[in-house]
């Protein structure tokens, strides 16, 4: 099923023609209304009129998350505040959050793109959508909410937390679609098991999961434990919120990026150069319809590659491969790039090991050390020391083989790694603190 | 003849052993034999208790990882060479001992050693054939 046939199946040339027209309009607008961009264009000697083709996009300056912080709170808004009808902000783990403002038309676009996303994920009118994304400054809750309503589904605005109550509602209200972070879906399954609820037998059929990177193996585990199709949704508040892209349920192979509203590029995160089609690098997004806070070449820090081949679902919009990590989460350990998701995939490939792990990075003298803590469960436990040592040796060896990094593996008791109700805390990096 | 032993995964941090014993004590589970095997990071606590099902249940409730294994209790004459005779029998019959530990209490004049084998049935056959006394489960848990 396709929500908006006209736009979602536009031929490639038509998409590109539309993108160019909208890009030119956006560039004109930010140049005229956002001093930050006028200055940034000026530094590179670029005028809006220089953008004559989509290829000219690469002449434009990047926008970094830091630029948003530097212009906190409203400095990058392209319309007067009286035209802003909603303000969201992303969690600022360090310092100030990044603030985004939406015009009425922006909210409408967001709602439309979330509606497309819900339908691509196999949701329709008649579904009962259990929305466990947080409502508030975080874009997840309200973004999913509006889109679900537009589709005509019944939305339960659960927000996050209070897991036992979530399970009660899920049973009693007959929720068919779950929207939350992937780690929270597993947490729900875990609490359900503790409460003696067979979550596999509930009416849930689809989970629309996002806001953190998750591996293919984690998807298998979620699909298994909850007996649902787990669909990956992509979004970031700076660009829109959830609904920048989504997997179609037909292929479950790459996330369609709504190209009539965004232009994706893949660059080398070190040099900033645009990479040839199909290569993996950092995703950069330009918004081409946003009014409140249009962003030119925003560096997402997400690592992926672009897939332009046609998709079996009939949508013509390009796909991004599922994220292999965030360049922010990327740990550099003794000069080697390590993504937590890679460690997770190693663990998933070992029989019986569950993805409850934490990475502790320390610096001893000038040497980085990586400790991988893995919980021991009844499947991996043995009454013999040598078998447990064999397990930790295997984990260490597999990590070394895949990543080329030597680590220490520490087996820990179950539930000793904090379970999150939101995003999973996978990495504790003590290097900055101690140096 | 087989005795149920429970094993518990514990991280090597102070007080953890006392905690396990405390949990079992509060549940009224009597510990009959205990052995701790450890590495620098973790340990495996092996216990023989009167009511292993109850012990497993309360430990699971406290989020411990636990398992059940079958072991046997063997009477060993408390004289020089007593244990060696038994190990020789096992060796001759190619029975592999995974680990063993001494039971605190005695059975009459004899010491009691708990053995964990690769193949417990094979071990029982070899020992019985050679006249070694294997204690019944009830006897072990009620010593
Ligand atoms: Zn598709």
Q: What's residue A312's pLDDT?
A: 96
**How many angstroms is it from A3 CA to the middle of ligand 1?**
13
**How many angstroms is it from A250 CA to the middle of ligand 1?**
6
**How many angstroms is it from A402 CA to the middle of ligand 1?**
30
A352: pLDDT strictly greater than 60: yes
Higher pLDDT, A386 or A216: A386
CA–CA separation, A150 and A140 (whole Å): 16
Q: For residues A161 and A267, state if they share a domain.
A: yes
Q: What's residue A434's pLDDT?
A: 46
Q: For residues B107 and B53, state if they share a domain.
A: no
Q: pLDDT by residue (tens digit) across A245-286?
A: 999 999 999 999 999 999 999 998 878 999 998 888 899 999
Q: Is residue B99 within 8 angstroms of chain A, CB to CB?
A: yes
Those of residues 64-93 in B touching chain A at CB distance below 8 A are 64-67, 69
Per-residue pLDDT of chain B (143 residues; tens, 9 = 90+): 889 999 999 998 888 889 999 999 999 998 888 899 988 889 999 999 989 999 999 999 998 999 999 999 998 888 888 889 999 999 999 999 999 998 877 777 888 899 999 899 999 999 999 989 898 888 777 76
> B41 and A411 in contact by Cβ < 8 A?
yes
Nearest chain A Cα distance for residue B33, angstroms: 15
Provide the number of structural domains found in chain B.
Answer: 2
**How many angstroms is it from A232 CA to the middle of ligand 1?**
12
Q: Which domain holds residue B98?
A: 70-142
> B65 and A416 in contact by Cβ < 8 A?
no
Q: Tell me what the mean pLDDT of segment A409-424 comes to.
A: 76
Q: For residues A79 and A185, state if they share a domain.
A: yes
- Asked if the peptide bond before residue A73 counts as cis, ω within 30 degrees of 0, the response is yes
Q: For residues A235 and A361, state if they share a domain.
A: no
Higher pLDDT, A142 or B13: A142
Q: For residues A366 and A235, state if they share a domain.
A: no
Among B69, B100, B119, which residue terminates a domain?
A: B69
Q: For residues A165 and A253, state if they share a domain.
A: yes
Provide the number of structural domains found in chain A.
Answer: 2
Angle at B122 between CA B103 and CA B75, to 5 degrees: 25
Q: For residues B61 and B123, state if they share a domain.
A: no
> A411 and B98 in contact by Cβ < 8 A?
no
- Retrieve residue A323's tokens: 């994220």
Q: Is residue A416 within 8 angstroms of chain B, CB to CB?
A: yes
Q: Is residue A382 within 8 angstroms of chain B, CB to CB?
A: yes
Q: Which residues does residue A332 pair with via DSSP β-bridges, in sequence order?
A: A337
| Partner residue facing A415 (CB), from B10, B38, B63 | B63
Q: For residues A272 and A337, state if they share a domain.
A: no
Q: For residues A413 and A379, state if they share a domain.
A: yes
Q: Count chain A–chain B contacts defined by CB atoms under 8 A.
A: 52
Q: Which helix (H) or strand (E) holds A47?
A: none
Q: For residues B111 and B75, state if they share a domain.
A: yes
Split at pLDDT 50, 70, 90, the class of A422 is: low
Q: For residues B108 and B57, state if they share a domain.
A: no
Average pLDDT of chain A?
Answer: 92
Q: For residues B126 and B137, state if they share a domain.
A: yes
Q: For residues B7 and B58, state if they share a domain.
A: yes
| Partner residue facing B9 (CB), from A389, A410, A413 | A413
Q: For residues B35 and B92, state if they share a domain.
A: no
Q: pLDDT by residue (tens digit) across A164-180?
A: 999 999 999 999 999 99
Among B69, B87, B114, which residue terminates a domain?
A: B69
What percent of chain A is modeled with pLDDT above 90? 76
> A389 and B63 in contact by Cβ < 8 A?
no
Long-range contact pairs involving A386-395 (C-beta distance under 8 Å, separation at least 24): A388/B9, A388/B42, A388/B44, A389/B39, A391/A350, A391/A353, A394/A350, A395/A346, A395/A347, A395/A350, A395/A353
Residues A340-353 as b/e (b if ≥16 CB within 10 A, e otherwise) read bbbbbbbbbeeeeb
Q: Is residue B96 within 8 angstroms of chain A, CB to CB?
A: no
> B67 and A410 in contact by Cβ < 8 A?
no
Report the CATH number at residue B28.
3.30.2130.10
Q: For residues A308 and A409, state if they share a domain.
A: no
- Which residues in chain B have their CB less than 8 angstroms from residue A378's CB? 65-67
Ion ligand 1: protein residues whose beta carbon lies under 5 Å: A 248, 251, 311, 313, 315
Show Cβ contacts of residue A88 under 8 Å, excluding neighbours closer than 6 positions. Answer: A99, A100, A102, A137, A138, A139, A142, A237, A241
> B63 and A376 in contact by Cβ < 8 A?
no
> B63 and A384 in contact by Cβ < 8 A?
no
A288 in Cβ contact with A26 (< 8 Å): yes
Q: For residues A322 and A343, state if they share a domain.
A: no
- Which residues in chain A have their CB less than 8 angstroms from residue B46's CB? 383
Q: For residues A429 and A322, state if they share a domain.
A: no
> B65 and A382 in contact by Cβ < 8 A?
no
Query: Mapping DSSP to helix (H, G, I), strand (E, B) and coil, where does residue A296 land?
Result: coil
Q: Which domain holds residue A214?
A: 5-328
Q: Is residue A191 within 8 angstroms of chain B, CB to CB?
A: no
Split at pLDDT 50, 70, 90, the class of A426 is: confident
> A413 and B98 in contact by Cβ < 8 A?
no
ipTM for this model: 0.86
CA–CA separation, A365 and A244 (whole Å): 43
Nearest chain B Cα distance for residue A354, angstroms: 13
Q: For residues A94 and A216, state if they share a domain.
A: yes
State how far Cα A262 lies from the chain centre.
16
**How many angstroms is it from B77 CA to the middle of ligand 1?**
75
């Amino acid at each position: 099923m396709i929500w908006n046939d006209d736009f979602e199946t536009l031929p490639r040339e038509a998409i590109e023609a539309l993108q160019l027209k909208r890009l030119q309009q956006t560039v004109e607008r930010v140049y005229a209304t956002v001093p930050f961009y006028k200055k940034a264009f000026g530094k590179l000697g670029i005028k809006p009129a220089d953008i004559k083709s989509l290829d000219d996009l690469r002449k434009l300056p990047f926008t970094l998350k830091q630029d948003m912080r530097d212009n906190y709170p409203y400095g990058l808004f392209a319309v007067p505040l009286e035209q802003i009808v909603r303000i969201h902000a992303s969690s600022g783990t360090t310092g100030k959050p990044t603030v985004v403002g939406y015009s009425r038309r922006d909210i409408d676009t967001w709602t439309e793109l979330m509606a497309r996303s819900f339908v691509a994920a196999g949701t329709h009118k008649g579904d009962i959508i259990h929305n466990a994304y947080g409502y508030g400054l975080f874009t997840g809750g309200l973004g999913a909410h509006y889109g679900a309503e537009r589709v005509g589904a019944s939305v339960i605005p659960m927000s996050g937390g209070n897991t036992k109550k979530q399970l009660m509602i899920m049973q009693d209200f007959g929720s068919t679609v779950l929207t939350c972070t992937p780690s929270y879906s597993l947490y729900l399954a875990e609490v359900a098991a503790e409460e003696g609820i067979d979550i596999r037998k509930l009416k849930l059929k689809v989970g629309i999961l996002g806001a953190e990177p998750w591996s293919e193996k984690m998807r298998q585990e979620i699909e298994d434990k909850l007996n649902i199709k787990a669909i990956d949704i992509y979004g970031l508040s700076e660009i829109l919120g959830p609904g920048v892209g989504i997997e179609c349920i037909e292929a479950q192979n790459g996330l369609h990026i709504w190209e009539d509203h965004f232009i994706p590029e893949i660059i080398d995160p070190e040099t900033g150069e645009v990479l040839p089609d199909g290569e993996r690098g950092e995703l950069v997004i330009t918004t081409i319809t946003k009014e409140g806070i249009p962003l030119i070449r925003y560096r997402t820090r997400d690592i992926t590659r672009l897939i332009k081949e046609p998709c079996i679902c009939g949508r013509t919009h390009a796909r991004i491969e599922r994220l292999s990590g965030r360049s922010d989460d990327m740990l550099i350990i003794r000069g080697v790039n390590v993504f937590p998701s890679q460690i997770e995939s190693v663990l998933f490939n070992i029989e019986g090991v569950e993805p409850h792990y934490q990475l502790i990075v320390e610096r001893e003298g000038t040497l980085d050390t990586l400790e991988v803590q893995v919980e021991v469960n009844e499947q991996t436990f043995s009454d013999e020391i040598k078998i447990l040592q064999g397990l930790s040796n295997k984990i260490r060896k597999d990590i070394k083989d895949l990543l080329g990094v030597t680590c220490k593996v520490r087996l820990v008791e179950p539930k000793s790694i904090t379970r999150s109700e939101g995003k999973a805390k996978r990495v504790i990096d003590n290097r900055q603190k101690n140096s | 003849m087989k005795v149920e032993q429970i094993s518990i995964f514990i991280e090597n941090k102070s007080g953890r052993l006392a905690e396990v014993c405390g949990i079992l004590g509060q549940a009224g589970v009597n510990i009959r034999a205990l052995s701790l095997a450890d590495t620098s990071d973790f340990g495996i606590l092996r216990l023989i208790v009167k009511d292993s099902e109850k012990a497993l249940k309360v430990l699971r409730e406290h989020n411990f990882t636990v398992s059940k294994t079958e072991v046997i209790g063997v009477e060993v004459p408390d004289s020089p060479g007593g244990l060696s005779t038994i190990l020789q029998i096992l060796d001759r019959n190619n029975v592999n001992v995974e680990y063993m530990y001494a039971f605190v209490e005695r059975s009459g004049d004899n010491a009691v050693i708990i053995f964990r084998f690769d193949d417990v049935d094979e071990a029982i056959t070899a020992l019985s054939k050679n006249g070694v006394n294997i204690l019944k489960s009830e006897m072990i848990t009620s010593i």
